[in-house]
Amino acid sequence: MAVPVSFARVSPAGRPPFTVAYERKGAGEPIVLLHGVGHHLQAWRPVCDILAASHEVIALDLPGFGVSPALPGGTSYGLESVLPLLTAAFAELGVERPHVVGNSLGGLLALELGRAGAVRSVTALSPAGFWTPAERRYAFGLLRGMRAGARALPEPVVAALARSAVGRVALTGGIYAHPGRRSADAVAAETRALREAPGFGPALRAGRGVRFTGDVPDVPVTIAWGSRDRLLPRRQGVRAKSAIPGARLVRLPRCGHVPMNDDPALVTRVVLGTVGREAAQAGAQARRQSTSR
């Protein structure tokens, strides 16, 4: 069951304040969920209730997406700017080093947060940043095409299309392997979110030269890729594993670029498996420290 969207006013040191929207439920170790470009926090609803049975779950609308307002004028949407803003948002929400799960742009942000030591574990679902220049241009072109279509269609037409399986394929087939499983209301809402996102253009411009390089050595990392990802082909997962040798690479059969709706149970198992690895490592470290005393 969805909970009301709340808003947090974040005032980072030395930076203009900004506002972030979020949904929060459950209790236990916190798990923060980060969506991709043009999407919104509602993308995570198929898995939120399951995760919230054992953890506190916080789904964010990234700044400039969903109902989170755009960043203040002059504030960059580049990684070097957004990462400290996210850590400030975590602090405002009262979570310290949460587990983070991200999809697409959110997956790239999760990996960068892991590299900075700001999180306990990282689960990255089809993360951005492991593309070739040609693959990046293709992905950005597809996203811009989806955005143009969303902006061209009047709201009544979107609503009518969303009521049929064929229409849902037309609206969201680029990101889901099974768009017909998405509800009409959800498809209409995410089409609206794509159309209205003020952060869409700035985020794509900031991402033109982005490539993830280096490692994430100190936290458990899982990289999961849908076998039917049409936006970022699954071969990019092999590159991600090469860049982060300690990561677990998982295939998500019959899933698209946004797998949470295609197979919520599988995505939940992957997330909880990563969280469990962190708990096991923390327990082993505690036992070693106790033995050495």
Question: What mean pLDDT is reported for the chain?
Answer: 95
**pLDDT at 290 (0 to 100):** 64
Cα–Cα distance list, 293 to 15, 25, 84, 122, 287 (Å): 44, 39, 37, 31, 10
Amino acid at 46: P
Q: Is the pLDDT of residue 1 over 60?
A: no
Q: pLDDT digits over 47-89, tens only?
A: 999 999 999 999 999 999 999 999 999 899 999 999 999 999 9
More confident residue, 181 or 293: 181
The DSSP bridge partners found for residue 259 are: none
**Which of helix, strand or coil describes residue 222?**
strand
State which fold the 6-292 domain adopts.
Rossmann fold (3.40.50)
DSSP state of 209: T
- 60 membership: H or E segment, kind and range: strand 56-61
Q: Which residue has the tokens 């990282």?
A: 122
Residue 174: pLDDT band (50, 70, 90) is very high
Q: What is the mean pLDDT of residues 13-19?
A: 94
The Cα–Cα gap between 30 and 58 comes to: 7
Give the mean model confidence (pLDDT) for residues 153-174: 96
* 52 vs 210: CA distance, rounded Å: 33
Instruction: Give yes or no for residue 283 having a pLDDT over 70.
Output: no
Measured between alpha carbons, how far is 281 from 198 in angstroms, rounded to an integer? Answer: 41
**Closest Cα to residue 85, out of 19, 7, 6, 21?**
19
Does residue 280 carry a pLDDT above 90? no
Answer yes or no: is pLDDT of 286 > 90.
no
Amino acid identity at 147: R
Reported as a single tens digit per residue, the pLDDT across 113-124 is 999 999 999 999
For residues 270 and 250, give the distance between their C-alpha atoms in angstroms, rounded to a whole number: 8
Bridge partners for 100 per DSSP: 32, 122
**Integer CA distances (angstroms), 252 to 13, 108, 195, 234, 270, in order:** 40, 18, 28, 10, 9
pTM of the model: 0.95
Residue 287 has pLDDT above 80, yes or no: no
- The larger pLDDT score, comparing residue 279 to residue 169, is at 169
pLDDT 10s digits, 80-122 = 999 999 999 999 999 999 999 999 999 999 999 999 999 999 9
Q: What is the DSSP string of 5-38?
A: -EEEEE--TTS--EEEEEEEE--SSEEEEE--TT
pLDDT over threshold 90, residue 26: yes
Res 293 pLDDT > 90: no
The residue ranges of every structural domain in the chain are 6-292
For the beta carbon of residue 210, count every other beta carbon within 10 angstroms: 16
Nearest to 145 by CA among 103, 200, 187: 200
Q: What does the pLDDT average to over 221-233?
A: 97
8 Å CB contact between 221 and 121: yes
What's the pLDDT at 288? Answer: 64
